[in-house]
Chains A and B, each alone.
Chain A
Amino acid sequence: MRRIISILMENEPGALSRVVGLFSQRGYNIETLTVAPTEDETLSRLTMTTTGDEKKIEQITKHLNKLIEVVKLVDLTEGAHIEREIMLMKVKATGAQRAEVKRTVDIFRGQIVDVTATVYTVQLTGTTDKLEAFIAAIGETQVLEVVRSGVSGISRGEKVLSL
């Protein structure tokens, strides 16, 4: 099962490598990973997606919690949550395809953020599913380059992950 684990951790050198090291050392899998400082500059917010059965996820969260730099942790998939990923993509845009790509971008509520005679650079935000649907709609042969941010997430409602 796919899980989104969100972590508040000390914004210190070496903290990220401990999180990543834990995954390789215990044979867990990281699918996406994003990390950046928060409004409190002593803290970083890290979001990762991983897969595993209940037992494995329980071990992952327990071991993450044991890391000294991990201050708080939540498995967002346990409750209602919002997840977003940003994707930048260069798409071949020549001839008749130029209009077709533009229409598809509009349907997915993306934006064309850079243009040349033959290439559109598209920006798209959404869930992982939506981004994948967009790639499929554009057709892989059209795609020149893709860069994705990995999943960021936050819980719905009044619940907050803070100190």
Chain B
Amino acid sequence: MLSGAEMVVRALQDEGVEYIFGYPGGAVLHIYDALFQQDTVNHILVRHEQAATHAADGYARSTGKPGVVLVTSGPGATNAITGIATAFMDSIPMVVLSGQVRSDWIGDDAFQETDMVGLSRPIVKHSFMVRDPRQIPDMIKKAFYIASTGRPGPVLVDIPKDHTAPHNTFPYEYPKKVKMRSYAPVTRGHSGQIRKAVDELLKAKRPVIYAGGGVIQGEASEALTALARKLNFPVTNTLMGLGAYPGTDEQFLGMLGMHGTYEANMAMHNADVILAAGARLDDRVTNNTKKFCPGAKIVHIDIDPASISKNVAAHIPIVGPVGQVLDEMLAMLDEQGSVGTDTKSLERWWQEIAGWREVHGLRFETNEQGPMKPQQVVQALYKATKGDAYITSDVGQHQMFAAQYYLYDRPRRWINSGGLGTMGFGLPAAMGVQFAHPDAVVACVTGEGSIQMNIQELSTCLQYGLPIKIININNQALGMVRQWQDMQYGGRHSQSYMESLPDFVKLAESYGHVGMMVEKIEDLDSAMEEAFALKDRLVFMDIYVDPTEHVYPMHIADGSMRDMWLSKTERT
């Protein structure tokens, strides 16, 4: 016989949960008491509930397993909202347990009451409100199942305090299987559609594989890589898809979209067949959808039917798990013996791509006398970590530089808030990654704007001894806002400055960490080496860079994929 609170904890144990990120409060005290009396589910105490959700999110992104969050009612729950929305936009599996006031007080504006099911409705895949303690095992089972199957996403379980009371006990049995008549995610793509897609790919003269975060979520990187190599097709990844295809591979064109490489965007615009795999053709990729890839037939694989033909109509839609669909494509190619692509056309296509790469690869200008460039910081980070770190990032220019200049050879190594663009994501996400991979090198690329949005987590990092390396690319400005103001608002830098910055070195030290400041390019490599040599310490590297630098290439608003600014003065 278990109380509701004990059932919550037992269900987490039965789900195999290692870590739960949270913050206690009145409505969840019974659950915290039950957590205290066991030692298989490790509770990580953050300093703000938003950080709990991002940490759970980082854990989920780097492992593929759902991240788990526990917060109290009212402000605890509302603080979690940004992190839930972040996970929702990027389809990250997450289970959020929120406390609620006692059931007979609901609706009375009780202390710390908020309608969390209502508040979170547009940003969760599903939500449950416990109405009877006996529902707890079943609801938690369903929450994990829904969060991690189909198109993953966050699921909320709201638990009124009286339903966890220690004096009410019930028999406990954790369901082995979930049966829901109204939820059956697709498990296979339609073979006829897959056949049609393969035929289209084989006819292609100027193909591009455009792979997104779904390939990573769907564990389909191997199948994608095998297919691309077999067909000898160029591959581009979205911001969410980086690492789905090896970043150092010759067939990789780099990231596409608003800040994608010249060669990736040109290849997309000139393609005759595009294989969109686990990508949702969102506005940061397509630019003006009316001018998007005018000559291309689009084969679109997605597990979510609502993603297909939402922004751009697909010629061959395939609803299914991207891994299974790609495997079936590979099997069809194997069956017919020779691959049978138009190799002559492909050769010409690769020559064309080589031309774009040569003329306009990623580049930036350095200035021997002037301040160092943010791109150089990412390059130094790549060198110091031998390209093998987990990199989390915040949001802004530094995020784009980390996406462009760090080459991700493996999935789940690049952890960023792509859809919602949440500043403050990087540090707590890095905590989740470090918990999941205690021996791995984890670095958080951030800026002095973003890092201050969850800086309090330096305290959590001290408590749990997390040796994260914070790469603070400090340009004393909200760089991306400033860039748009330079380009579109006549250089009027409305509120995009960052004055009165703390001394980050002292700040890090006051939290018991190591702080380092780097101002000169000649000190950068040695400082990086020194920082990463401190294997058991968190190091906060405050690195001063050129505040006037912009991210390029950059799509020209309302243009096509090929319309780009390549520097402050050159455009296509």
A residues apposed to B, CB below 8 Å: 9-10, 13-14, 17-18, 21, 25, 55, 58-59, 62-63, 65-66, 68-71, 163
Which B positions have Cβ atoms within 8 angstroms of A? Answer: 117-118, 121-122, 125-127, 129, 131, 146, 180-183, 304-306, 309-310
Complexed CA–CA distance, A68 and B149 (Å): 12
* Cβ contact within 8 Å between B182 and A21: no
**In the complex, what distance in Å separates the CA atom of A71 from the CA atom of B181?**
7
Contact partner of A59 (CB less than 8 A), chosen from B146, B181, B306, is B306
Assess the A66–B182 pair: CB atoms within 8 A: no
Taking CB atoms, residues of chain A closer than 8 Å to B183 are 68
Verify A17–B146 contact, CB threshold 8 A. no
Q: B305 contacts A62, CB within 8 Å?
A: yes
Whether A18 lies near B182 (C-beta < 8 A) is: no
A58, A59, A63, A71: the one contacting B182 at CB < 8 Å is A71
Partner of B129, one of A9, A14, A55, A62: A14
Q: Are A63 and B306 in contact, CB atoms less than 8 angstroms apart?
A: yes
B181 is contacted by which of A13, A63, A65, A163 (Cβ under 8 Å)? Answer: A163
> Assuming the A-B contacts A17-B121, A21-B121, are A62 and B306 also in contact, with contact meaning beta carbons closer than 8 angstroms in the complex?
yes
Shortest Cβ distance from A132 into chain B, in angstroms?
34
Q: What residues of chain A lie closer than 8 Å to B121, measured between beta carbons?
A: 17-18, 21
Cβ A69 vs Cβ B117 within 8 A:
no
Q: Is the CB of A9 within 8 A of B310?
A: no
B125: which A residues are within 8 A, CB to CB?
A: 68
- Asked if A68 and B310 make an inter-chain contact with CB atoms under 8 angstroms apart, the answer reads no
Tell which of A14, A63, A65, A70 touches B117, judged by Cβ atoms closer than 8 Å: A14
CB contacts (< 8 Å) of A9 on chain B: these are 182
Q: Separation in Å of the A28 CB from the closest CB of chain B?
A: 13
Chain A residue with Cβ nearest B313: A55
Smallest CB separation, B303 vs chain A (Å): 11
Residue numbers in A under 8 Å from B122 (CB-CB): 21, 25
Inter-chain CA distance A62–B181, complex, in Å, is 17
Q: Pick the 9 closest A-B CB pairs, nearest first.
A: A62-B306, A71-B182, A25-B122, A68-B126, A21-B121, A62-B305, A68-B183, A63-B306, A71-B181
What residues of chain A lie closer than 8 Å to B305, measured between beta carbons?
A: 62, 65-66
Complexed CA–CA distance, A9 and B131 (Å): 19
Q: List A contacts of B310 (CB < 8 A).
A: 59
**Bound complex: CA of A14 vs CA of B115, how far in Å?**
12
- In the assembly, what is the distance between CA of A9 and CA of B182, in Å? 8
**In the complex, A108 Cα to B490 Cα: how many Å?**
66
A26 nearest CB neighbor, chain B only: B122
| Beyond known contacts A13-B131, A14-B127, A17-B121: 9 more, CB 8 A cutoff | A9-B182, A14-B117, A18-B121, A55-B309, A62-B305, A63-B306, A65-B305, A69-B182, A70-B182
Q: Which B residues are CB-close (under 8 A) to A55?
A: 309
**By the criterion CB–CB under 8 Å, are A66 and B129 in contact?**
no
Complexed CA–CA distance, A10 and B180 (Å): 11
| CB nearest neighbor in B for A68 | B126
Minimum distance in angstroms from A73 CB to a CB of chain B:
10
Q: What residues on A are CB-neighbors of B181 within 8 Å?
A: 71, 163
